[in-house]
Amino acid sequence: MIRVAVTGAAGRMGKTNIEAILQAEGTELGAAIVEPTSSLIGADAGELAGVGKLGVKVVGSLADAKDDFDVLIDFTAPQATLANLEFCAAHGKQMVIGTTGLTDKQRDQLNSYGDKMALVFASNMSVGVNLCFKLLDMAARALGDDYDVEVIEAHHRHKVDSPSGTALSMGEVLANALGRDLKECAVYGREGQVGARPQKEIGFATIRAGDVVGDHTVLFGTEGERIEITHKASSRMTFAKGAVRAAKWLHGKANGVYNMQDVLDLN
């Protein structure tokens, strides 16, 4: 059995990750970590996640659980994730990271840990979304510069980063396929007299409302037709199942930074 720990265990994704670990074959919950000031420390992790008593007590730091897990699933915040990477690298652990909103510098820091440990890092752990990445690459290469490209994403009101990490990953896939630099061609929203649309823009539009789990659409448009590739998540369980799948896949892997395309053998 692979012992999996969940950090941010009191959050929406944390609770769903715990449930997914229990549903999967070959994995068990080794530890559940919350902030060191949390009043939930000492509670039963299963009761916290709403799945019944498990006998795994919630702790306030990775150090308190260092002997209890093999792989850590982390969907927290950039600074916390980097601190958790340092701990896991020092103690021979592996990580599955779904944290979004990292700066370029923070992503460089994350990638530097590939020399010390095996980890999976992806902006979206959903199997469906990662299949969409593959489809987007194929579509962009086939359609080329004759089609305008727009990325539209919607999430719940609590999401703090914009555009979503998934939308940005879609933009990177599209830019690479089209031979463009996303930093130069991306446009994040439009307002006022912006003029006609340049041919090689990749546009992003963001919606934040209610309890939307995650919707992403890429629109390819040209004179006479448009093509849309859409993924809609109706439950966080799709992300959690992907994360647990990645945690199982990591077992026995050499040091390196992998992504969900590797996990799903889509590369």
Domain boundaries, the chain: 2-121+236-263, 127-233
User: Computed over its alpha carbons, how large is the radius of gyration of the chain?
Assistant: 20
For residue 5, the cross-strand partners are: 31, 72
Residue matched to tokens 């950090």 = 7
Q: For the residues 193-200, what does the mean pLDDT come to?
A: 94
- Confidence class for position 12, pLDDT limits 50, 70, 90: very high
Read off φ and ψ for residue 59, nearest 5 degrees.
-120, 165
Tokens at residue 92, please?
């021979």
Non-local (6+) Cβ contacts of 7 within 8 A are 14, 33, 62, 72, 73, 74, 76, 80, 84
Per-residue confidence (pLDDT) for residue 137, from 0 to 100 = 97
**pLDDT over 90, % of the chain:** 97
Q: 2-121+236-263 domain in CATH 3.40.50.720? A: yes
CA 186, CA 209: separation in Å to the nearest integer?
23
Q: For the residues 68-97, what does the mean pLDDT come to?
A: 97
pLDDT, tens digit (0-9, with 9 covering 90-100), for 197-251? 999 999 999 999 999 999 999 999 999 999 999 999 999 999 999 999 999 999 9
State the CB neighbour count (10 A cutoff) for residue 144. Answer: 10
| Average pLDDT score over the chain | 96
Helix (H, G, I), strand (E, B) or coil at 260: helix
Per-residue confidence (pLDDT) for residue 56, from 0 to 100 = 97
- Confidence class for position 123, pLDDT limits 50, 70, 90: confident
- Integer CA distances (angstroms), 215 to 152, 234, 247, 252, in order: 8, 9, 25, 34
Non-local (6+) Cβ contacts of 194 within 8 A are none
CA 247, CA 159: separation in Å to the nearest integer?
25
For residue 156, the cross-strand partners are: none
Q: Is residue 81 within 8 Å of residue 74, measured between CB atoms?
A: yes
- Confidence class for position 72, pLDDT limits 50, 70, 90: very high
Out of 3.20.20.370, 3.90.180.10, 3.30.390.50, 3.30.360.10, select the CATH number for domain 127-233. Answer: 3.30.360.10
For residue 101, is pLDDT > 90? no
For residue 11, is pLDDT > 90? yes
CA 72, CA 14: separation in Å to the nearest integer?
11
CA 247, CA 71: separation in Å to the nearest integer?
6
Residue matched to tokens 């990271």 = 97
Per-residue confidence (pLDDT) for residue 267, from 0 to 100 = 78
**pLDDT over 70, % of the chain:** 100
Q: Is residue 246 within 8 Å of residue 240, measured between CB atoms?
A: no
Q: Which helix (H) or strand (E) is 148 found in, with range? A: strand 148-155
Non-local (6+) Cβ contacts of 49 within 8 A are 9, 14, 15, 16, 18, 19, 32
pTM: 0.83
**Which residues are catalytically annotated?**
155, 159
Q: Is residue 48 within 8 Å of residue 15, measured between CB atoms?
A: yes
- Confidence class for position 255, pLDDT limits 50, 70, 90: very high
For residue 159, is pLDDT > 90? yes
CA 7, CA 157: separation in Å to the nearest integer?
22
Non-local (6+) Cβ contacts of 180 within 8 A are 200, 202
